[in-house]
Structure 1
Amino acid sequence: MTSTIDSPPPYEEVILHPKSDMYPYPPPHTMASPPPPSYSPSPGMTGYWGQSGVYPQCGGPGPGFPPTGIHTTTIPTLSAGLPTANTDMENFFSYQWDSTSIRHAFIRKVYLILTAQLAVTFSVVAVFTFVEPVKKFVIKYPGIYWASLVVYFVVYCILLCCKEPRRKFPCNLVLLGVFTLALSYMSGSISSYYSTKAVFLAMGITAVVCISVTVFCFQTKVDFTSCGGLLCIAAVLLTIIGIVTAVVLSFQYVPWLHMVYAAIGALVYTLFLVYNTQLLLGNRELAISPEEYVYGALSLYIDIVHIFFFILQVSGAATD
């Protein structure tokens, strides 16, 4: 309970006789309070009506941005001075496109030269096969065949050992033409010792083998360019088997041995054709430089002609 002194007065008394000292009211303001600090705008900033100390106009720099006329310092970042990702990708695809177009032009050039060489060779073979006087002349004078064999080896060694003739345009075409004529004459001379049926059969089988190998090399993901050592061993073994076969056949011990040798030789040179074809593509472990188009056409041409020689031996023995 509260005491009488602490209890509030009645309502009527308060209305009729108010007393200011009955409760502690706050004292009246005798002097004005200091105004709040005014807004001091930055240089070049004015208010809506040209007054200072109010909000800046619309369109000016907002909070966090430097005022107009003040220079700022650029902070370097980690990517400063480096090309953007888009530039790197554009350069990468441009390089890929250029290299791919150069490689395609190189392949077209190689196969164009190879087509011309094969056309000359098989035209000479057809002449030596169908024209009887030419066939009899070759059989009567075998010295021309040995002369063409010597020219073939000499020009082949020049094209392999000397790199300059392969890159100088007039010189490499002349050497390649001489080499093609020498090997074509050799092919015609060998074909004149076989029947027409055996020659046509060998030409057909050679064409099928070469087309199949080319399609296989362009489609497969297997890399045969890393098997150069094995192919060299196979070539050495083929040479040894050839010498043994020549000795054995001279004594007529095993008459069918030359067919086995011819089949092995056709298989080995087919593998060489696969190897040299993949060297042209450029997307394997090893590749030929686009400047070496003469060497590329030369390697394919020799492989195809040797496949024809070995298949001709098999077909000739089969038809006889």
Structure 2
Amino acid sequence: MRIPWFGLALAGTTAFFIVVLFGPYVIRLLTKLKCGQTVRSDGPKTHQSKSGTPTMGGLLILFGITAGTIAGLGGNWSYNLIWTVFITLAFGALGLLDDLLIIVFHRSLGLKARHKLLGQVFFAGLFGLYVVQSGAMETLKIPYFNTHLAFINPVLTFLFVVFTLVAMSNAVNLTDGLDGLASGTTLIAGLAMGILALVQGEMSLGIFAAALAGACLGFIWFNAPPAQVFMGDTGALALGGALAAIGILSRTALFLPIIGGVFVAENLSVILQVLSFRMRGKRILRMAPLHHHFELGGLAESKVVVRFWVVSILLALLGLAGYKIG
């Protein structure tokens, strides 16, 4: 197996520099257009000072990923890569609409949850049809075992793809609550999933993952506390969709719950909090998602973020250790 080192390096560095170089101009434009974040009134009180910080910075990430992928591969795009870019941009467009509604109507919520979910399912469904028709995911690598899970029912394949895309997209979106948290954890998960894609022979997806990591690193340049810009749903929904697409098309989607364990924990924390309150009338966390629980427990925001990064690195290594050649 020949690793395209030059393409990987070019994709990552191009994505990084695109975001860093154009970041100040985009931030000024978003500020001029008054695209400020409306902070939830029921969130941590310390976050009220962030109100008005430019959002929709995910546009920078999307431009960086696209430019980096083009630089790393030129015009040699596989169908798998085309569909990965499609789902990333489609989820990004859905998030952009959500962010615009928040800005226009000056509220903390944009699209209604059911409308957002409907949009996610629609785009994920198109992606699922491609996966079923192309046979791109007839098997899945099983972590820690030198064997594969075979999909013999196209309906189950379709449902698995849709669920994975929607779940990961929403999980990354829930993680995007502290400065640098979603971009840092996605950077780490993206690198790990890119390595898995490479060893699975999906070179174009590996280069896409390198561009994703480079764009996230560039975004941290401006999103590190105190953040100059937020990615918004434009970035968060897109990044979750991108991670899921890499896993699905490289046949390593079963590694996502391990490598993306932070996203899974954030998602579960919200589900368990809601269920507990509805069934028992009590909350199990100070506040959901999970990062707010630790923040309200007295940890500084930056410390919560760095510790989540550390956990993400450990989970990424744990996931990679579960790959058996064969």
TM-score, normalised by the number of residues in structure 1? 0.28
Larger RCO of the pair (alpha carbons < 8 Å, separation 6+): 2
| Structure number, greater radius of gyration | 1
As a proportion of its length, which structure holds more helix?
A: 2
TM-score, normalised by the number of residues in structure 2? 0.28
